[in-house]
Chains A and B, each alone.
Chain A
Amino acid sequence: MSSRGGKQKKGNVTSEQEEEEQPLQAVLVADSFNRRFFPISKDQPRALLPLGNVAMIDYTLEFLTSTGVQETFVFCCWMSNKIKDHLLKSKWCRPTSPNVVHIITSDLYRSLGDVLRDVDAKNLVRNDFILVYGDVVSNIDVSQALQEHRHRRKVDKNISVMTMVFKESSPGHKSRCEEDDVIVAMDSKSKRFSMGTDEFEIRHDLLDCHISICSPQVAELFTDNFDYQTRNDFVRGILVNEEILGNQIHLYVTQDGYGARVSNLQMYDSVSSDMVRRWVYPLTPEANFTDQQGQGCTHSRHNVYRGAEVSLGHGSQMEENVLIGRDTSIGANCHISNSVIGNNCTIGDNVVLDRAHMWNNVHISSNVEIHQSVVCDGAVVKEAVRLNKQCVLAYNVVIGPNLSLPEGTVVSMHHPEEEEEDDDDEFLSDDQEVGHSKDKTRQKAFNPAEVGPEGKGYIWKASMNDTEDEELAQCLWGLVLNPDPESDSESEASEESQDRTFQLEVLGTLQRGLEENIVCDNLVLEINSLKYAYNITLKEVMQILTRVVLEYPFQQQGTQLTTLQYTGSLLPLLKTWSPVFKNYIKRAQDHLDCLSAVEELFLEQDTHQTAMVKVLMKMYQLEILEEEAILKWFSTGATNDKSRQLRKNQGLQKFIQWLKEAEDESSEEGE
């Protein structure tokens, strides 16, 4: 850039022409830098996992090549040897390939940031480049986006550093990743990420394709800010510092095309089924774009694809959206729908497969049922096994016979504990180490209850200890979010919960007061401070207090108390806490409020209504309640049938009678 500035006008023109002629470059990150696909990715890097019987990295490379990328740098870290081998064998490394692939491996990459810093250090990119992950499946034509990006950079001198490609898809769409649920604020006119202007748009209908067009500055910025780990860090950093540094990020929104990143198994499932349903055209299973021998298959209606030498038993049905690899044999009376079956698989009789993803060399015995599960290379499923939803059988696992795996079971040849052992070097792909630990795990016996009598494998449990990278869960299938709870988190709702927490706090306070023998004055102090903390009115405090105290016996001894037991335990409590009550019940209105709280509670606990009169009596004796208030409450407080019913209680009637007489007497005495 600096050299260009010094040149004369003529030189400028030629350099621009040179720029145009420079080949389009891409940076492909063939590592996810997380463990979402463990234990599957323990044996095979994610980029090489087959999707529609083709390794995922091939889709990415095909996408890049079709958009005109001429030079791709593939960065690998985890199991880099395998990726390298795969690529060297593939068509990308043939001399005729229009896209020159350079493979760069290092064990030291731990994030996207490291990769881009290396790009900068090695000075690999000379111009705008496409940044993409090795697990992106897409057919979006980004040339338009590229053009816009270049135009923007020409118009206002390198202000725009990145153009992110988004696809329109409404919320809840299958190919949207639940964990990657982006909400974007953009300037609708300039297509810029922004919130500052007078008018902007908040969009929730965009799907992040994880394809970005970056300026060379991006790599430099990653070097300058060594704390940037992910692209999100970068985007956030740019937006926060926009006013200072003047860098901007733009979006490119496309309506058609397909783009998704396989970031968890849920996404794997949906992308795979989209692939079979031909949404990623022209990347379809029968296209054999990897140009490998024997990968070809035929496409017939209902999206049924068959590879070479597939044999299908009598009475077997391939309903729809089925892809079967070469040399696979299927027994009789099978029912297969929405599934992908790899090469060299054998499937027995009476097998039901629905949304199953079976990779290569899998053996399925008869009478097996598989629903929405992944079965990796070399796995064996014995007779009469049932895999419920979201099961995963990792490499070489044997299951069965006669077993039903519960939903979400993950079985692997790796013992879960071994992961913790090599926790320190999680990203080191040291084959030796893996082999070593395999030896160790072999000593541990398989549990037949988990994997069946002839089974081989361990139930894999995702370790929850790496919370440091703020991953929500390390679950293979991704978060299963309940369809929007549509929380009515309006103020009322939150207030209600506040009341609830306040009630719990009061209960706790009283409980502690009883246990530690705290003086009532201090209890009052504590409740008062709670009142301020939760912003509760005095009236509510009193009602909640009454409720807590009256429910206390139930709280402590369960709800099955008889009325006698209830009053037995409650009355002493009332005596203990009477100073607390007296503190809150002072005015006439307070008395009535307290009484209505009592009434409300006993209306709920209608089996204990007889206890009510005892409670009232006690409260009267303790001088918590005044007789006038009780009489007034009795005569006027009835508002509905139930409370009228309550007042017909004999004991209560007597009590009131007695009160009235007592009042008369006292008034007589007064005279």
Chain B
Amino acid sequence: MGTSILLVNKPVDVLQKKMELQAVLMAAGGGSRMMDLTYNTRKPLLPVGNKPLIWYPINLLERVGFEEVIVITTKEVQKMISTDPKMKLDVKMKLDIVCIQEDAHMGTADALRHIQQKIKTDILVVSCDLITDAALHEVVDLFRAHNATLSMLMSKAHEFTETVPGQKGKKKTGEQRDFVGVDGTGKRLLFMANEADLDKGLVIRKSNMRKHPRMHIKTGLVDAHLYCLKKSVVDFLADNRSVSSIRGELVPYIVRKQFSKSMTSPNVNDEADQKLKKKDGNANVEIKILSRDEALLQLTRERSCWNDHRGDMSEAYHGGRLRCYVHIMDEGMCYRVNMLAAYIEANRLAPKLFDEPAVHPSAAISVRCLIGADSIIGASCQISDKASIKRSMIGASTTVREKVKVTNSIIMHGVTIEEGCNIQGSVICSNTVIGRGADIKYCLVGSAQRIEPEGEHTTAYYCLTLPSHTQVPLTSTLSGNSRVAKIQ
């Protein structure tokens, strides 16, 4: 099985041949969980391995053969995408960019509703912060094989090993666990609940247990936010305006609906449909989400002895017409860059995804400097003598002067690092100037800052404006007798 998922008869002409899946890329999120990074650079444009974050999902889609993608994003990002030379260079596929207002507080489901007109087939929704080497066809195959309403990708949660700037010691991620229930094959998604919603413990309905007597409950999974959805789901969204988030509301709703009565009644004929419609508008909406199996498929299923379960005599899928599947990655990488820790981890691993020279050809690198094999140097960089760069990423147009040591750090674009600096385990955002001889350890430096020379900084945040939720107070822990850095 190669990486190409679209069949051999790839749609040459969209109009002539029906596309199977339309790709939708959600790139309007603000990155609210890592405000320090996204204050100046929108999340989709954050550099990861010297490529904007949004490049990764686009590349993922491109790799498997998509030729067009609908990108939902904000005006600002659109402008950046059209001007960013990197994006233009690498992306062959057609980007159909739809802008939404930034301050409209639109959820992902709202965004889908927004582009309902454009959606003609089933869709594949990807979030812009996904970096993965997953075999996408696994997810799509589940979707196809079971004529599923929803199929999604999950992965085992990763432990972030790197020390996160601005955090002392290991901080427990405050996230609540998700409980995910799958059947014996590990594919069918039966149950989904968040720890926050479980006040009295896990509640699983017995009718559900009856149909699927063995349920594996897994915790410690991350949702990759990659979903295959039937077109009917988008139509459902259009009618049901209260749903605003895919992950928060829509997916749990569909998973739950798999086992509710109206969905499983074996053959709701049109008459019953009509009745339901009359009864109330709500049922009408519900019905829409059902993907009625095509007649031929129905017939095949009746005639074949295939069944998805054993143990009782009922028909395949217990007559349910709403089915959710999940592909859980056992190995490989799957990151959602939505937190600082994930961002750093992704930076460390992302370069392995593509084989490009670690040092950009246009970078001017002194012969007498040391650059580790696990580092990336961006375009038009200047690296002077005796600089040492290990396990780090240096963004484009960055100047690194003599005797600078950079270890385990992320330096974004246009940064100037003066002589003799020592930077370790830190993130330095764009256009910052680091004064001569500064010693920066485990710090996060916001964009366009000026760090005074000779300062010594450990575990601190330096930002233009302090995000309201930051736990670590500004310049709180400057170690030793150092001078307090001046924050502009």
Which residues of B are found within 8 Å of A16, using beta-carbon distances? none
Instruction: Write the nearest CB–CB distance from B64 to chain A, whole angstroms.
Output: 30
A-B contact pairs, 16 of them (CB 8 A): A170-B213, A171-B209, A171-B312, A188-B216, A198-B218, A199-B219, A200-B217, A201-B214, A202-B214, A205-B311, A484-B207, A484-B210, A485-B207, A487-B207, A490-B257, A490-B260
B260 touches A488 (CB 8 A): yes
Determine the residue in chain B with the shortest Cβ distance to A170.
B311
Partner of A486, one of B261, B282, B310: B261
A204 touches B209 (CB 8 A): yes
Binding site for B on A (CB under 8 A): 170-172, 183, 185, 188, 195, 198-205, 484-490, 492
Q: Does B181 contact A (CB under 8 A)?
A: yes
Interface residue ranges of B180-223 to A (CB < 8 Å): 181, 202, 204-207, 209-210, 213-220
The CA-CA distance from A198 to B299 in the complex, in Å, is: 41
Whole-angstrom distance between the Cβ of B288 and the nearest chain A Cβ? 15
* Contact residue among A198, A202, A205, A486 (Cβ-Cβ distance under 8 Å from B219): A198
Query: Does B256 sit within 8 A of A, measured CB to CB?
Result: yes
| CB-defined contacts of A489 to chain B, threshold 8 Å | 205
Report B's interface with A, CB cutoff 8 A. 181, 202, 204-207, 209-210, 213-220, 256-257, 260-262, 264, 282, 310-312
Contacts of A195 in B (CB 8 A): 202
Closest to B217 in A: A200
| Contact call A172/B217, Cβ cutoff below 8 A | no
Contact flag A202-B312 (CB < 8 Å), given A188-B216, A486-B261: no
Q: In this complex, what residue of A is CB-closest to B213?
A: A205
Q: Give the chain B neighbours of A199 by CB distance below 8 A.
A: 216-220
Find out whether the CB atom of B262 lies under 8 angstroms from the CB atom of A488. yes
**A202 and B204 within 8 A (CB):** yes
Docked Cα-Cα span, A487 to B213, in Å, equals 17
Taking CB atoms, residues of chain A closer than 8 Å to B213 are: 170-171, 203-205
- The smallest C-beta distance from B464 to any residue of chain A, in angstroms, reads 41
Nearest B-chain residue to A488, judged by Cβ: B261
Judge whether B216 and A172 touch: CB under 8 Å: no
Contact A198 B261 (CB under 8 A): no
A490 and B207: CB pair below 8 A?
A: no
Task: Please determine whether B260 and A201 come into contact, CB atoms closer than 8 angstroms.
Answer: no
CA distance A603 to B204 in the complex (A): 40
Residues in A whose Cβ lies below 8 Å from that of B204: 202
Chain A residues lying within 8 Å of B311, measured Cβ to Cβ, are: 170-171, 205
Top 3 closest A-B pairs, CB basis?
Answer: A170-B311, A205-B213, A488-B261
Q: A437 vs B246: C-alpha distance in the bound complex, in angstroms?
A: 71
Shortest CB–CB separation between residue B138 and chain A, in angstroms?
20
Residue of A at shortest CB range from B311? Answer: A170
Q: Is the CB of B217 within 8 A of A201?
A: yes
Q: How far is the CB of A181 from chain B (nearest CB, A)?
A: 8
Chain B residues with Cβ under 8 A from A203's Cβ? 213-215
Tell me how far the C-beta of B290 lies from the nearest C-beta in chain A, rounded to whole angstroms. Answer: 15
A183 close to B210 (CB less than 8 A): no
B217, B220, B256, B264: which has the most chain A beta carbons within 10 Å? B217
Measured between alpha carbons, how far is A407 from B205 in the docked complex, in Å?
Answer: 32
CB distance from A484 to the nearest CB of B (A): 5
CB-defined contacts of A183 to chain B, threshold 8 Å: 206, 209
A202/B220 in contact, CB under 8 A: no
Closest partner residue, chain B, to A490 (CB atom): B260
Which A residues are in CB contact (< 8 Å) with B181?
Answer: 202
Q: Which of A201, A485, A488 contacts B215 (CB 8 A)?
A: A201
- Of chain A, the residue at the smallest CB distance from B262 is A488
Give min CB distance, B248 to chain A, whole Å.
16
Looking at B218, B256, B311, the one whose CB has the most chain A CB atoms below 10 A away is B311
Q: How many whole Å from A481's CB to the nearest CB in chain B?
A: 11
B215 closest partner in A (C-beta)? A202
Once bound together, how far apart are the Cα atoms of A202 and B219, in whole Å?
A: 13
